[in-house]
Amino acid sequence: MGSVKPDHLAPGTMSLEEAAAGAILIVGAPRSGTTWLAKIVDSHPDVLYRHEPDEAVPSLPDSDPARQIVAWAKARTLRTAVKRPTFPKSFITPPRAMIRAGLAHVLGGVARLPGAAAHVARLPVPDLVVREGLARLRVALKLVNWNSAAIARALPRTRHLFILRHPCGQAASIMRGLAQQRFHDIADGLAPSDAARTKAYAERHGVSARAFAELPLPARLAWNWRAFNETALASLETQENVRVVSYEALCAEPVRVTRSLFEFAGLSWDGQTEAFLASSTQTRDDAYFGVMRHSADAASQWRRKMSPEDQRAVLDVVSASPLTVHLHDWAPA
């Protein structure tokens, strides 16, 4: 992937549609650090963030990338538009920000009432953007399990941050979630859509369906890592508006890596982001879906907590992957 100079948005007032054409997309496999990276981007005061809008807004039937990006940018549900932690924004005045936060708080409370969640999930939370603030606004979207290659090709002003986590770290995180019963749609370690894709991918690489079924869970998760990441990056690698981010490198040097990503994405450096990096990398919070944790420990804890047998099962599958060149520290424990 090449390096390009970002096209900054033109001065003056513009529409949300125009801003969406230069959106920043945060993509990657589940449990790879996508949410943390997305909140780092969201911490910039000029960023209008949407959290997993592809879960709330179905893919458009015509698959037009420009219209799809706009549809996602306009997703204003409580889940997509108010993902905590939230940050002060340059395009929302403090009084408007207080009104918006109050409305979100009320909706969140109502959503917990019996039978109300489904109704509240469809209600929009207004952005309350001041019109003159649109000139500097940047849209950022965190997508789930999504290959953004078509968007990267069709909209060269977009910037795509693809985060890649060590397969042992990702597998250990998924296994921890399974042990804690965090997932409700996963059978035998893989979601139905992931299982079909992964089995087909492994079969193309010489592993029969019967042999796949007999693999231990860590090995199946390793094939899932290969199936998603190798396929996605094969279609993204020729695009100059894509940057691969090593989760481990981000954990080891959060400020340096983030500065580089912001320069690539066309975002200025801001003290608000620096403060979030400090707090989100030095907090020992073990919440499974949280973003506030001790980053160095989060990146390496699989080396202590994952058995040598499970590590070897993963590495035996992934050692032949071309993606190991992107990993910050490939050596096993």
- Transcribe 258-299 into DSSP letters: HHHHHHHHT----HHHHHHHHHHHB-----TT-S-SBHHHHH
The pLDDT assigned to 63 comes to 75
* Residue 292, domain extent: 16-92+127-326
Phi, psi at 315, each rounded to 5°: -65, -30
Cβ atoms of 315 and 268 within 8 Å: the answer is: no
pLDDT confidence tier of residue 131, bands split at 50, 70 and 90: confident
Whether the per-residue pLDDT at 284 is higher than 90: the answer is no
Q: Which has the minimum average pLDDT: 45-59, 189-203, 278-292? A: 278-292
Q: What is d(CA 48, CA 133) in angstroms, rounded to the nearest whole number? A: 11
Whether the per-residue pLDDT at 8 is higher than 50: the answer is no
Cβ atoms of 162 and 309 within 8 Å: the answer is: no
In a domain, residue 97? The reply is: no
Structure tokens, 111: 């959503």
The average confidence (pLDDT) of the chain is 88
Cβ atoms of 32 and 163 within 8 Å: the answer is: yes
The pLDDT assigned to 7 comes to 39
CA distances from 118 to 51, 132, 144, 156, 290 (A): 18, 35, 21, 37, 23
Count of structural domains within the chain: 1
The pLDDT assigned to 331 comes to 54
**DSSP bridge pairs for 242:** 160
The pLDDT assigned to 187 comes to 60
Do β-strands 47-51 and 138-142 pair in parallel, antiparallel, or remain unpaired?
A: parallel
Cβ atoms of 48 and 127 within 8 Å: the answer is: yes
Q: What is d(CA 328, CA 331) in angstroms, rounded to the nearest whole number? A: 9
95 prior amide bond cis, ω within 30: no
Mean pLDDT, range 288-307, rounded to an integer? 77
In a domain, residue 113? The reply is: no
Q: CATH no. for residue 278?
A: 3.40.50.300
Q: What is d(CA 189, CA 180) in angstroms, rounded to the nearest whole number? A: 13
- Give the three-class secondary structure for 104: helix
In a domain, residue 1? The reply is: no
Phi, psi at 170, each rounded to 5°: -65, -45
The pLDDT assigned to 291 comes to 65
Q: Between 2 and 330, whose confidence is greater?
A: 330
Q: What is the pTM of this model?
A: 0.90
The pLDDT assigned to 5 comes to 41
pLDDT per residue over 70-121, tens digit each? 999 999 999 999 999 999 999 999 999 999 999 999 999 999 999 999 889 8
Which DSSP letter does residue 135 get? G
In a domain, residue 73? The reply is: yes
Q: How many CB atoms lie within 10 A of CB 127?
A: 19
Q: What is d(CA 273, CA 279) in angstroms, rounded to the nearest whole number? A: 10
In a domain, residue 75? The reply is: yes
In a domain, residue 278? The reply is: yes
Whether the per-residue pLDDT at 212 is higher than 50: the answer is yes
Q: Between 151 and 285, whose confidence is greater?
A: 151
Q: What is d(CA 203, CA 220) in angstroms, rounded to the nearest whole number? A: 12
Cβ atoms of 224 and 190 within 8 Å: the answer is: yes
Which DSSP letter does residue 90 get? T
Cβ atoms of 116 and 122 within 8 Å: the answer is: no
